[in-house]
């Protein structure tokens, strides 16, 4: 396994067809991608001056990877058909030449700038998911004694997103190993903060207060080491949110989005903090952005739940029920999401569905109650808390 930070080269795209003024987009789109990807603190991006030397069609990605010293290549094509422009993108593993991810974008040529922006947004958010998955799979091929700090970090991420106690503990172990290998690894501290957040949010351990303190401590350390990393700002905002410091939380989450406007989980967490403060209009805006950027995100269930809770706050119970049940059926959803589904069904008058969710919750988490729910969702409005508490009480929670 290669050691160190993942690396990528974005090649000039191939323009298909006769040369026209549109051919410039075969260079313009990769240039914008390089600019956007360079904002990702976890990814080393090769400069345009090096990558744009590789223009020959059909060059071997493995050979290019060796020449540039990168693990991943991004390539693509641009084609104009009448009044339409079609762009394809492709992410390749340079170790074996395999295609990891690809996408096709199309639209009217007159809207090429909007298409270009959409490509950049979708590529950046997709790479945030696909490259860490490949890195984790690659790390699994080695014995634990051969893993470097980045390999441990990516394995930690994979365990972290499974949302159960055993895997959360495994994630913590990998992040701790990464920090032991590199004490100044800011993102590993942010990952460890996330696992402590999860411990406090889902009450895995007996001391929620201690988990909250540890989450904040690790986030603060990450910020000290790399204040420009969106993930560490995200971790700081999340730790403050669970402590009910919503104003401070939104400032940190807003900073994470400013550092990386394509950071879907940053948008989702901002939406979550907004709804806790009763700011549903802002919450809808951020959750829509998160869903558009990353429709297959590990936190997809939570994004859908955020929308459902915002609809509950706005007393649109019919739509809230639809979105809440969708969230609860999404992979990764935990018992607190089931409680949101119960609340939405109860407030919408769907008593039978509410009781069905109540039974499901008791099987998953026998000690579930209002206290656990409101500790994880520190709403600022007492009126709203009473309304939600009434819905839970009708099912004896």
Give the start-end residues of each E strand in the chain.
7-10, 14-16, 44-45, 72-81, 84-93, 99-108
The answer to whether 67 and 7 are in contact (CB under 8 A) is no
Closest CA to 103 of 43, 188, 32, 13: 13
Q: What is the pLDDT of residue 205?
A: 82
Supply 161's token pair.
């997103």
Task: Give the residue from 94, 97, 93, 117 showing the smallest Cα distance to 107.
Answer: 117
Cβ contacts of 166-169, under 8 Å, gap ≥ 24: 168/195, 168/198, 168/199, 168/204, 169/195
* Spatial separation of the C-alpha atoms in residues 261 and 350, rounded to whole Å: 39
Identify whether the C-beta of residue 11 lies closer than 8 Å to the C-beta of residue 65.
no
- Tokens of residue 282, six digits: 């802002």
Q: How many CB atoms lie within 10 A of CB 67?
A: 15
Q: Which stretches of the chain score pLDDT less than 70?
A: 1-3, 56-57, 143-144
Task: Quote the tokens at residue 31.
Answer: 């240039």
Q: What is the pLDDT of residue 286?
A: 97
Stated as kind and residue range, the H or E segment containing 5 is: none
Give Cα 251 to chain centroid, integer Å.
Answer: 18
CA gap 187, 260 in Å, rounded: 15
Closest by CA position to 263, among listed 236, 219, 239, 297: 297
Which three-class secondary structure state does DSSP give residue 372?
helix
């Amino acid at each position: 396994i290669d050691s160190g930070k993942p690396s990528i080269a974005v090649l000039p795209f191939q323009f298909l067809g006769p040369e026209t003024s549109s051919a410039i987009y075969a260079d313009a789109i990769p240039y914008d991608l390089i600019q956007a990807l360079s904002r990702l603190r976890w990814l080393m991006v090769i400069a345009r001056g090096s990558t744009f030397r590789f223009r020959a069609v059909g060059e071997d990605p493995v050979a290019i990877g060796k020449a540039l010293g990168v693990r991943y290549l991004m390539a693509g094509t641009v084609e104009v058909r009448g009044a339409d422009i079609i762009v394809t993108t492709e992410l390749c593993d340079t170790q074996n030449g395999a295609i990891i991810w690809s996408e096709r974008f199309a639209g009217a040529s007159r809207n090429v700038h909007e298409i270009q922006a959409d490509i950049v947004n979708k590529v950046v958010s997709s790479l945030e998911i696909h490259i860490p998955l490949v890195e984790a799979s690659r790390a699994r091929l080695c014995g634990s004694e051969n893993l470097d700090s980045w390999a441990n970090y990516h394995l930690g991420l994979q365990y972290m997103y499974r949302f159960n106690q055993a895997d959360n503990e495994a994630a913590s172990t990998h992040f701790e190993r990464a920090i032991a290998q590199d004490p100044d690894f800011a993102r590993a501290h942010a990952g460890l903060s996330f696992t402590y957040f999860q411990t406090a949010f889902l009450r895995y351990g007996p001391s929620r207060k201690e988990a909250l303190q540890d989450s904040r401590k690790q986030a603060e350390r990450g910020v000290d080491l790399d204040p420009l990393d969106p993930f560490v700002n995200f971790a700081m905002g999340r730790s403050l949110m669970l402590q009910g410091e919503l104003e401070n939380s939104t400032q940190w989450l807003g900073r994470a989005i400013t550092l990386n406007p394509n950071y879907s989980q940053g948008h989702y967490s901002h939406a979550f903090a907004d709804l806790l403060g009763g700011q549903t209009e802002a919450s809808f805006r951020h959750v829509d952005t998160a869903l558009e950027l990353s429709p297959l995100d590990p936190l997809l269930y939570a994004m859908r739940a955020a929308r459902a809770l915002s609809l509950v706050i706005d007393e649109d119970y019919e739509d809230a029920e639809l979105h809440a049940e969708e969230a609860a059926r999404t992979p990764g959803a935990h018992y607190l999401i089931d409680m949101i589904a119960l609340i939405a069904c109860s407030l919408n008058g769907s008593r039978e569905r509410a009781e069905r969710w109540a039974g499901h919750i008791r099987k998953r988490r026998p000690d579930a109650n209002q206290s656990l729910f409101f500790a994880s969702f520190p709403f600022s409005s007492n009126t709203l808390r009473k309304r939600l508490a009434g819905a839970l009480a009708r099912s004896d929670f």
